[in-house]
Structure 1
Amino acid sequence: MTMTKTAKAFPPFLALVAICVFVEPVRSTIEQLIFLFGICDVETIKGYILSFGIWAPVVSFFLMVFQSIIAPLPAFLITFSNAALFGWVKGAVLSWSSAMVGAALCFAIARFLGREVTEKLTSRYAMQNVDNFFKQYGQHTILIARLLPFISFDIVSYAAGLTSMSFWSFFWATGLGQLPATVIYSYAGEMLTGGARTFVIGLLVLFAFSILATLLKQVWSRKKIRIQS
């Protein structure tokens, strides 16, 4: 990344920030969306999406992109809502594709605007934690982060943009890493409600921990081999 690219990207970014802050309808909409996500209630998100009628899928798409940029808002709310509203197959496609666009935008923002802007959109503490995660687990970071629902994958997307990782390496790893979780959450979102959904989420978290433990064991084994050699 060169200073020229950063200089060219900064004015449009500042213009967008000014619109979000000073244009009342835009600012009110952003505040409303942050409030909706803050409630952490799937039914509320479903009702909001349904209120747009035939535009509901488009609104859902942009909601996923929005939560990606304004990290760390919970993406699973939209994934469950999409499955309940559009069926788990169509919902999974919608959730996966919109999450991919959001991840790509996070990566691009970090790559072209740098750490200072990225930390304002997330937080310095969160970025430092993810930096350490990248240093420790390297290429496995993206897969691990996506498998664990309580780790903000959006912050990981920002952090990836600050590394030397190429966009296409990030993009393919992101797509493959998030696909299993998206399918599982979508299926659970369509089939289950209330306490049953909570129970399944618990099982999914346990499943994610099991995969994480396996991955960490592999990473540690490889590091141990390199140290011994």
Structure 2
Amino acid sequence: MSINKKYIKYFPIITSFVFIILILILYFINDSFKNNINELWEVFSSGNKEEITNHIKSYGIWGAIILILIMIFQLFLVVFPSWLPMIIAALVYGFIPSVIISLIGVFLASTLAYVIGNTISENTLKKYISKKSFDKLDFWINNYGFFSVIIFRVSPFLSNDGVSLIAGALSMNYLKFILATIIGITPLAVAIAFFSSNINELKEGLSYISGIGILIYTIFIYFDYKKRKNN
């Protein structure tokens, strides 16, 4: 018996929303769970690095799962910088484990955002943006999508979720998309893990990484676009 392809396509979104509904139900029927969530929310929304670190440490290995879930839910609840859980992971679990946690979290969050974007479809997207804007996005994704995703991932100051949604909506090849995501997020995760103990050095390091990446990308786009235009 074959499974309808439509249901396969929507399966990640369905399971995600079912999971969210279950969390909400548990939140309202279990006082202990509710208190833990409220405490976690207050700690993270405070932005206090030391307080957040100590709180995550108290969960032991479960803290890693909490950080991964926060990276995923950050797609829906933008209340703190996307790189904050990556810093906390480095401070709590060390260099290598934090890089792995960051990669898993970004992989899952990016996949979910891509699938959500993919369900939007091109026809729906055309209803909200002009044909000219759509054609530009379509051209960009088809010709520079791979490198665009890398740059958006390597820079913590650009919209990671936005590029994932657009890549899905314009049906960019998923394997190409997720490979670009991993390539882009790896140096960022490594830099965050390396400089996490010094927030000033971290900000400076991230700025350099973002600046160099965008510069190289701009030069590449300029010469490639010029070549295409001449042809």
Q: Could you tell me the TM-score, scaled by structure 1's length?
A: 0.74
Question: What corresponds to 1:228 in structure 2?
Answer: 230
2:181 pairs with one of 166, 170, 174 = 174
State the Cα distance separating 1:180 from its structure 2 match. 0.9
Question: What corresponds to 1:205 in structure 2?
Answer: 207
State the Cα distance separating 1:182 from its structure 2 match. 0.7
TM-align CA RMSD: 3.8
Q: Distance in 2 between matches of 1:222 and 1:81?
A: 39
Task: Indicate how the Cα distance of structure 1 residues 171 and 62 shifts in structure 2: closer, same or farther if over 3 A, else same.
Answer: same
8 Å CA contact retained: 1:79, 1:186: yes
**Map of 1:92-171 to 2, 5 A cutoff?**
92-111=99-118, 113-114=119-120, 135-136=139-140, 137-171=144-178
Question: What corresponds to 2:91 in structure 1?
Answer: 84
State the Cα distance separating 1:227 from its structure 2 match. 0.7
State the Cα distance separating 1:96 from its structure 2 match. 1.3
Q: Distance in 2 between matches of 1:40 and 1:163?
A: 35
The letter of the residue matching 1:218 is F
Q: How many residues align?
A: 214
State the Cα distance separating 1:215 from its structure 2 match. 1.0
State the Cα distance separating 1:152 from its structure 2 match. 2.4
Question: What corresponds to 1:64 in structure 2?
Answer: 71
Deviates further, 46-55 or 8-17: 8-17
Task: Indicate how the Cα distance of structure 1 residues 226 and 90 shifts in structure 2: closer, same or farther if over 3 A, else same.
Answer: same
**Map of 1:10-25 to 2, 5 A cutoff?**
24-25=27-28
State the Cα distance separating 1:75 from its structure 2 match. 2.2
1:75 aligns with 2:85: no
Task: Indicate how the Cα distance of structure 1 residues 37 and 5 shifts in structure 2: closer, same or farther if over 3 A, else same.
Answer: same
Deviations 1:2-33, CA, capped at 9 Å, x for gaps:
99449965776765665566765499677766
1:44 pairs with one of 47, 51, 65 = 51
Stretches of structure 1 that go unaligned for 5 or more consecutive residues are none
Task: Indicate how the Cα distance of structure 1 residues 63 and 134 shifts in structure 2: closer, same or farther if over 3 A, else same.
Answer: farther
State the Cα distance separating 1:109 from its structure 2 match. 2.3
Q: Could you tell me the TM-score, scaled by structure 2's length?
A: 0.73
Task: Indicate how the Cα distance of structure 1 residues 71 and 154 shifts in structure 2: closer, same or farther if over 3 A, else same.
Answer: farther
Deviations 1:36-56, CA, capped at 9 Å, x for gaps:
544333223323322323422
Partner SS for 1:104: helix
2:190 pairs with one of 183, 197, 202 = 183
Identity across matched positions, percent: 21
Q: Distance in 2 between matches of 1:23 and 1:131?
A: 45
State the Cα distance separating 1:149 from its structure 2 match. 1.1
The letter of the residue matching 1:67 is Q
8 Å CA contact retained: 1:45, 1:78: no
8 Å CA contact retained: 1:64, 1:78: yes
Rg comparison, structure with higher value: 2
